[in-house]
């Protein structure tokens, strides 16, 4: 039996820490076809999502998927992101956070523990190719 990834547990812990400290948790997601996010906000194949309590509705941070509803330009949207595609979580106010290696999402490896159905159509066009990669912007905190 393969050990479960620590990534979803660390994401939930950072989210809880940010919330308890009064900070606004944000996720940086490396977007691919498995991600259901508003494509008009994707830049350089990445999107930053506010996952604070005031910005989300029905937030579920599972072991395989992060799902919630949020408003973008006044329109409610359903967001679904594989945990494997999360690149970082940080507090907006302090920039403290944790960066992760992104992994390819493999639907066959999905344990089915989250209530996500990836068979639905994605009406958003794929993101444009990135001409270059940006350097990481999180700083090391001691």
What pLDDT, in 10s, does the model give residues 112-130? 544 454 444 444 544 554 5
- Could you tell me the pLDDT band of residue 49, with boundaries at 50, 70 and 90? very high
Q: What is the pLDDT of residues 67-117, one digit of tens each?
A: 999 999 999 999 999 999 999 999 999 999 999 998 877 776 665 544 454
Q: What is the pLDDT of residues 127-141, one digit of tens each?
A: 554 555 555 566 667
Q: Where is 58: in which H helix or E strand? A: strand 57-61
DSSP per position, 12-48: HHHHHHHHHHT--EEEEEE--TT-BS-GGG-BTTEEE
Q: What is the pTM of this model?
A: 0.75
Structure tokens at 90: 């940080």
Tell me how far CA of residue 81 lies from CA of 24, 27, 69, 94, 124, in angstroms: 19, 10, 12, 24, 14
| Cα(58)–Cα(39) distance, integer angstroms | 21
């Amino acid at each position: 039996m393969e050990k479960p990834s620590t990534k979803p547990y660390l994401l939930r812990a950072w989210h809880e820490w940010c919330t308890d400290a009064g900070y606004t948790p944000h996720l940086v997601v490396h977007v691919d076809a498995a991600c259901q996010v508003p494509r008009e906000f994707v830049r350089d194949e990445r999107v930053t999502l506010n996952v604070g309590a005031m910005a989300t509705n029905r937030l579920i941070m599972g072991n395989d998927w992060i799902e919630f509803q949020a408003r973008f330009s006044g329109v409610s949207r359903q967001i679904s992101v594989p945990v494997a595609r999360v690149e970082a979580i940080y507090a907006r106010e302090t920039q403290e956070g944790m960066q992760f290696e992104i992994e390819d999402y493999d639907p066959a490896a999905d344990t089915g523990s989250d209530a996500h159905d990836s068979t639905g159509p994605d009406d958003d066009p794929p993101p444009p190719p990135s001409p270059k990669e940006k350097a990481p912007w999180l700083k090391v905190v001691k």
